Structure 1
Amino acid sequence: MSQDPKTYTASSPLPPGRTGVLTPFEPGTRTLPAGFQVAPQFKALPVDVVLDRDVPVTLRDGVTIRVDVFRPAGTETGEQVPVIVAWSPYGKGQGTSPSVMGVFGLVGLPNSVVSGLEKFEAPDPAYWCAHGYAVANPDVRGVVDSEGDSVLWDRQEGRDCHDLVEFLAAQDWCDGKVAMSGTSYLAVAQWFTAAEQPPHLVAINPWEGVSDVYRDLVKRGGMPDTGFARQLQEGSFFGRNRKEDVLAEVETHPLFDELWADKVPDFEKITVPAYVVASYSNTLHTAGTFRAWRRMASQRKWLRIHDTQEWPDYYDPAHVEDLRRFFDHVVKGVDNGWDQTPPVRYSVLDLAGGDLVDVAAESFPPPGAVSTRFYLDGATRTLTPTAPAAAVEAAYAVGVNPDRVSFTTRFEAETVLTGYPKAHLWVEARGAADMDLFVLVQKLDAHGTPLAAFTTPNTSARIHDLTDHGATILKYKGSDGRLRVSARHLDPELSTGDVPAHTFDRVEPLEAGQVVDVEIDLLPLGLVFRPGEQLRFVVSSANLLGTLMPGIAEYVGANAGVHVIHTGGERASYLQLPVQAATA
């Protein structure tokens, strides 16, 4: 067995702000009666619920983790039910913590939409127990009272959760069927667990999640942007032992290697039925969710692309009911019509209050979406349907205002873009051996004003302050992409005509005067343009959108000299867009 390439650092006890009513170590079983409230601001239980606290589960390597199980009354006298697993490192008792309540406040959700018994980003036992499901909330390896050293998003977690799935399936209250659900970290865990193929896992519900730690979290576009990784590492994984030091690993493993390969699930082994939920607006999770959706081997998979943010979407009562229809059909075998649900339900953003949601399709991109080239014209700073004959440079000096160049086009007829955009650019660095490029597709109104839309119910003055620059998951401003040019080498196996993928296994600096062509993947989009509205394409040396959440250190591109974008002639740079419809 090869030596563990991971680096570890000391963990620390759970801080008060992350502590909830159910955090203390209290093994045993009790019944929470209908009407029970864990705290006054939370929803009361609609039914009696049996709570098993701090159940020990021993994993295959001898490490013991602790799990809280909520199950319907009746299971203590012989009734059997399926169970939903919520796997994450955030603490199984943190639903009533100041931290979780603060997140609900940030996005504009009242705490009363949940019971406080749920883990952060996880299914609420109050709802699911009332509908004949148990919910298992584990403290994963190395977290709070669980033994071992914690790890971040890798195949070790898949093996651990495999063992938990099989333990739960064997309990006398369980009917042998186990499902998984949850957003963000809980979604990522589902990719890894399903790829391990535990025999009793029958369905997953990943609701927006990274599927490649290198490409999505720590080195998007080959740039060492570790602001959120630092928050994740330092703001979670609290326990008694050690936790993985992903920040150190970025320094010691700068290229994609064995360590990072272990943090990509084996998509071809994900075969269970899957209800995947995605958005266009999550700059952490969007690329990974669509990647996993495309590559998983499941024959029965459904995709819903919403138009908000993952937490309001996950706890929306209509979406909870929609998820129950999926689980009832796939897990319980209920003939409820779920099998007639379209394989894809996508949204088309208007950014002015006219979004379309739940548009049915057989695939994503939907049939009829045509990858169409819009060529950059450096002379007119426009996007044109044919490549300009004349070669013209568009350039900017790094650190000088403006540190960007942009190109626009106006739509004369209603046009819908739905699918995967990419940029194919001919670039040159003068006075430097590398370039960090940031690109953005932005919608403008007929007067040229940039359009954006909040993704959460909170539209307060404070949320304006937070999202003027940064907090990208709270306000959608367009589809972005990025690439360090020395990391431009494409992976021929993973790349498609619509979605370029880079190997990130080599560094190819630029020589003086060298012009190279690069392909940059942008986040998938669904965007409608009314007659007269415009699209702007921006290329910059600066991070155009800022960080995904408030309070995170922003990455600054490693740039110097002058960036040159070549257009027209033999170096016809273009933006490729998925044009679905254009009608007069």
Structure 2
Amino acid sequence: MTTTEKLKSRFPDLNFVKPLPVDKHPRYEKSGIKFSPNKRTVLPKGHVKEDGRKKVLADTLLNSDTPIKLRDGVHVYADIFRPANSDEHPVPAVICWSPYGKTSISLDMIWHRAGVPKDWTSGYETFEGLDPAEWTRRGYAIVNVDARGVQFSEGTYFFWGDQEAEDIHDTIDYLSKQPWCNGSVCMGGNSYLAKAQVSFASRQSHPALKALAPWEGFTDIYRQLYLRGGFSMNNVFAAQYQWGVAGEEGVEDVAQMVKTHPLFDDYWAQKYDEVSNIDVPLYVLGSFGNPFHVYGSFDTFRRAKSTHKWMRVHARFEWYEMYEPKSIDDLQRFYDRYAKGIMNGWETDTPPLRLSLHGFGTVPNIVERSEIGFPLQRQQLRTYYLDTSVKRLKSLLPPNEAVASYDSQDLNASSDFTIHFDEYTEIAGYAKVRLWMSCEEKDDMDVVVQLRKIDSSGNPLKQIHFPCPAPENEAPEGETVKLYGPQGFLRASSIISRDVSRTSADGQEVFYRHDQEEKVPRGTIIPLEITLWPMGMVFAAGEGIKLSVAGHFLSAPATPAIQLEKLNNENLGQHLVHTGGKHDSCLILPVIAGNRT
């Protein structure tokens, strides 16, 4: 029985949607993509795919739609870009594993191309992957693989998990044996392409795999993407995502599974990445401004058992960082060390962690300061209590009990609490809130919390987080464009699933299994402990932070997708936040000791 057959047998309710073929898919139909198996093209140095694009920087051979036979007889197809002299001088192969089509979509569809100048990319790169026009010059082959079931690749498409890991293993094996390859294989790319790397290395290994560069990705699609805090989120995105796949056979209907498998069960467990299994050299990228991948990036770096691992936390959005020239140089040093065996000082010159903190335009960002581990050992956990009477955060617990409330179904409603710092302050790590809450109208609550930096007048700050000629007020609201602040999520009935063994010793990082639930009797006041996603902020004296508590996603203003998603939550009526006296509702912040160095 093949892995696909085993998965279908194991999850009999797993549905598959029929994708649109490439020539009829609205995303691809105008691209003129043709299936050209084993077509060989020479791209001479200086070649330009289209006006304004990056030139090919070295004579390059392109083998289009190269068939790679997998163990179950299915073929996936890859575009292989390699130096023209690689038959005589073999090179490492870098896999960019993708569901997007090898060169079908690009940053051109993103507002201001996420700050990436058009001449930084050639148009031969797969979306979120390395640009072969740059990397063949550096002595690498870039292998853009259409995953199983994508475009012209055969088979049924699964979102990550065992089938994809098996396919990547077979692809590594195939590439390592090609005469133009020096026997070393790496992987690269961000977002989905990063998740594919971590997913594979958590499940399997191959001696030819020498290095991974997961530049921002998930490790747990239940808690980090589709059911954050135990309740449905990004479900509109899930449906759009799977219908964005072009192919011939079937695409796993993960959007349906979000609805029919609301608890963390075997279905979600087989997609969970146990990153502690990873023992390949790692170069992880992360950003506190990334609303999708920051938790998974830190999870990978912190828990992988690799003895050679590094993380760089930059101050911009992932797409810009992928093609920034200094980033490319840095990544080459990493690959050169492990895929070519060049003793270039990478291990001695590179700090284990380079950390950036955001100043939101009022204070300069701290950019890639050398650190050792995360959270930082010098952090000081400071507790600030919610005071409803003045809507402030205070160092002392208010003696009198009070109640704040918000309409849990109003997308503009929240209970807010602020504090201003008397001196220069840095915050980096995992913040946590403890909230005593109740609801008279419903036996459950979906609660979202967020931290925003505020100026001295109390105005919440935001900023575009990539270089852009347009001012902030002209930029669209959205987490791929603007930086807001970290969020945390929890369904009240999930607190029964708290896992002490996976909660940090200091209590800041609370882990919920979400494998069971226990409804909350109406009107019962219960404590909710919610860890926010990793954060890094810098404050001048007089600036501060705002804690918001609400029943809905908070970062970007309400979008049509969020308006639809509110219909899928457990909220009804007023949520009450109890503060003061015996209800020690509070925010615990990881404050970094010391000066700005």
Give the structure-1-normalised TM-score: 0.94
Residue 248 of structure 1 aligns to a residue in which SS?
helix
1:204 corresponds to 2:215: no
For 1:472, the equivalent position in structure 2 comes to: 479
Q: Please point out which of 414, 427, 430 is paired with 2:424.
A: 414
CA contact (8 A) 2:176 2:185 kept: yes
Shift in Å, 1:430: 1.5
- Answer yes or no: is 1:305 the counterpart of 2:305: no
The answer for the alignment partner of 1:346 in structure 2 is 355
Q: Report the CA distance between 1:85 and its aligned residue.
A: 0.4
Match of 2:39 in 1: 28
Counterpart amino acid of residue 187 in structure 1: A
Change over 3 Å in CA distance of 1:424–1:558 after alignment to 2: same
Q: Which residue of 2 aligns with 1:72?
A: 83
Residue from 12, 20, 25 that aligns with 1:12: 20
Q: Which moved more, 1:492-501 or 1:522-531?
A: 492-501
Query: Does the 8 Å CA contact 2:39/2:65 hold for their aligned counterparts?
Result: yes
Question: Contact 1:218 / 1:224 at 8 angstroms: preserved in 2?
Answer: yes
Counterpart amino acid of residue 350 in structure 2: T
- Return the match for 1:135 from 134, 137, 142: 142
Cα separation, partners in 2 of 1:547 and 1:409, compared to 1, 3 Å: closer
Mean CA deviation greater in 171-180 or 280-289: 280-289
Residue pairs, 1:439-478, within 5 angstroms: 439-458=449-468, 460=470, 464=474, 466-467=476-477, 471-478=478-485
Query: How far does residue 267 in structure 1 lie from its aligned partner after superposition?
Result: 1.2
Q: Indicate if the aligned counterparts of 2:403 and 2:577 stay in contact, CA closer than 8 A.
A: yes
In terms of mean alpha carbon deviation, does 437-446 or 29-38 score higher? Answer: 29-38
Aligned residue among 105, 116, 125 for 1:118:
125
* Aligned-residue offset at 1:102: 1.7
Which stretch shifts more, 16-25 or 314-323?
16-25
1:17 CA displacement:
3.5
Question: C-alpha deviations, 1:59-99, integer Å up to 9, x for none?
Answer: 122211111111111123x32110100001100132xx4x5
> Which is worse superposed, 390-399 or 78-87?
390-399
CA distance in 2, matches of 1:23, 1:376: 61
**CA offset digits 1:329-379 (Å, max 9, x no partner):** 122122222112000001011101611101000111223112222121223
Q: C-alpha displacement at 1:38, in angstroms?
A: 1.8
Over 3 Å counting, the alpha-carbon distance change for 1:357 and 1:260 in structure 2 is same
CA gap of 1:166–1:437, structure 2 versus 1, over 3 A, is: same
Matched with 2:238 is 229
Instruction: Describe the superposition over 1:122-164 as per-residue Cα deviations: whole angstroms up to 9, x where unpaired.
Output: 0011111001111111111001111100011223211111110
Which amino acid counterpart does residue 186 of structure 1 have in structure 2? L
User: 1:576 is matched with which residue: 584, 588, 591?
Assistant: 588
> Among 163, 172, 176, which residue is 1:156 paired with?
163
CA contact (8 A) 1:228 1:552 kept: no
Which stretch of structure 1 is more off in the superposition, 357-366 or 378-387? 378-387
DSSP 3-state at the match of 1:137 = strand
Does 2:522 align with 1:515? no
Structure 2 equivalent of residue 263 of structure 1: 271
Q: 1:331 aligns to what? A: 339
* Residues 286-336 of structure 1, C-alpha deviations (whole Å, 9 max, x = no match): 222222222211111101111111001111111111111111112212222
1:450/1:462 CA distance change after superposition, 3 Å: closer
Mapped pair 1:434 → 2:465: no
Counterparts of 2:162 and 2:501, CA distance in 1: 22
* Correspondence for 1:55 among 66, 77, 101: 66
- 2:370 corresponds in structure 1 to 360
Q: CA deviation at 1:50?
A: 1.0
2:261 corresponding residue in structure 1: 253
Q: Percent identity?
A: 36
The 3 A distance-change label for structure 1 pair 401 and 302 is closer
Conservation of the 8 A alpha-carbon contact between 2:17 and 2:250: yes
Paired with 2:494 and 2:575, the residues of 1 have a C-alpha distance of 16
- Check conservation: 1:227, 1:555, Cα contact below 8 A: yes
Residue 109 of structure 2 is matched in structure 1 by: 102
> 1:447 and 1:128, CA in 2 relative to 1: closer, same or farther beyond 3 A?
same
Once the two structures are TM-superposed, the CA of residue 526 in structure 1 deviates from its matched residue by 1.0
Tell me the equivalent position of 2:511.
501
Contact 1:442 1:479 in 2 (8 A): yes
Label 1:355 to 1:21 Cα distance change in 2 as closer, same or farther (>3 A): farther
- In structure 2, relative to structure 1, the CA distance for the partners of 1:183 and 1:582 (3 Å cut) is same
Deviation at 1:25, TM superposition (A): 2.5
CA distance in 2, matches of 1:413, 1:275: 35
* Letter of the 2:77 counterpart: R
Per-residue Cα deviation, 1:246-297 (whole angstroms, up to 9, x for no partner): 0111122111111111111221221101000001122221222222222211
Question: How many pairs are equivalent?
Answer: 576
Using structure 2 for the length normalisation, give the TM-score: 0.92
